[in-house]
Amino acid sequence: MGSDFKKFLLRGNVVDLAVGVMIGAAFGTVVSSLVQDVLTPLIAAIVGQPDFSGLQLTINGSAIMYGSFLNAMIAFLVVATSVYIFVVKPMNALVALSRRQPPADPTTKKCGECLSEIPLDARRCAFCAMAVA
């Protein structure tokens, strides 16, 4: 059982998944910092509110922190856009490139006299009766 578990852990898929999760977590931290430290202050400078996380709505003594929700939405949009641009689009292009079929071998040729399409095995043109090589 020990060797099977070791084989399982050292398979490429498990290692790739672990690396992807770690990079994803680090990327999420970078994006959160970008949103909180750069984008939110820029948007706040335009709107006039210094920090979105302080925005709240109080109903019957309950505070609804919609500013934190705005920060989370901006972070989500940045992550989703980045993943789409840097992962989805290139992968779609790669898949489309791999699915592209090579051109089929020609089954016809042009007559040298009348330029009509004739089968490759034809010895005479069906349109002008010219002998073809």
Q: Which domain holds residue 20?
A: 2-99
What are the C-alpha distances in Å from 124 to residues 103, 108, 110, 121, 128?
A: 26, 13, 11, 9, 8
pLDDT at 119: 92
Residues 95 and 110 in one domain: no
Asked whether 65 and 26 are in contact (CB, 8 A), the reply is no
Q: How many domains does the chain have?
A: 2
Same domain, 121 and 62: no
d(CA 73, CA 113): 69
Above 80 in pLDDT, residue 99? yes
Query: pLDDT tens, 111-128?
Result: 988 989 999 898 889 889
Mean pLDDT over 6-25 rounds to 78
85 and 25 fall within a common domain: yes
Residues 61 and 121 in one domain: no
* SS3 state of residue 120: coil
